[in-house]
Amino acid sequence: MHALYISLISEYYKSRKTLAFWAAILLPLIICGLISAGFYNNADKIIANHYPPMLLWAQYSGAALGVMGFLIMPFYVIFMAFSVNNIEHKNDTWKMLFAQPLNKFSIYAAKYLYAIFLIFICLFLFATLTYAFGHLLQVLVPKFNFNQYSPLDILINAYTKLFLASLGILSLQFIISLLWSDFLKPMGIGFVGTIMGIIAANVGWKYAYLIPYSLPTLASRITKVKKGTDPLAFPVFTQEIWTSLIYASVLFIIGYFIVTKKSIK
């Protein structure tokens, strides 16, 4: 456990000055900032629609959730899986890492957990900033009715689902990035996979849930709030989430065996 802990600390220490780390903070800040700026500038039009408070929140948070679930989230996950491994490929430091008196599982698991941690931070900030900026809009434009409904449960549910649904992609991309040191293979496979996943999910293919890349799209679709229904009535642990978690755990174990067999040339 101690080896895992120090490996995690080291992962943070190494990455804290890289784009990968800051992307986890900047991405939600920029996207939520842009959406809020849009709401602020178009306040008159939006207020003229006379949305009930819940629907206003749905419109507002859906803007970030929609774009995240469909496109940015898969690519962000692919990029995270790439960057935690690439830091060692680029600097040729795998040999140094595996020559340390630490068990290989800790080194591997720390990298994996750190990638999960970065994704968690990113989504956590998305949820938090959506909530905070919504209330900030209310202060700036008192005619909004954000303050008449608490979206916390929806936000937590939706982002938890998105987080869990993306773990399948993460594990798959993690192995690809571990095996190949170049940029093109993981990115290329990830790109093609994501496009395929989105198409498969959108045409409603029966087995789309078996493609890890489809899962965030599928998961975020269920989150969409339909008029007149209870927004909290959607389940978190659906088929997509279970598939994602099964993919994640199986691939995590396979990845470990790859690491133990990996010869450091």
Residues that bind other proteins (CB under 8 A): 2, 6-7, 9-10, 13-14, 17-18, 87, 90-93, 95-103, 263-265
Nearer to other proteins, 13 or 207 (CB): 13
CA distances from 110 to 1, 24, 238 (A): 10, 18, 28
- Smallest gap from residue 99 Cβ to other proteins (A): 5
State the minimum distance, in angstroms, from the CB of residue 208 to other proteins.
39
Least CB distance from residue 98 to other proteins, whole Å? 6
Instruction: Please identify, using beta-carbon distances, which residue of 86 and 223 lies nearer to other proteins.
Output: 86
Smallest gap from residue 194 Cβ to other proteins (A): 28
Rounded least distance, CB 102 to other proteins, Å:
7
Shortest CB 185 distance to other proteins, Å: 22
By C-beta, is 103 or 150 nearer to other proteins?
103
Give whichever of 3 and 67 is closer to other proteins, judged by the CB atom: 3
Measured from the CB atom, is 15 or 177 closer to other proteins? 15
Nearer to other proteins, 40 or 98 (CB): 98
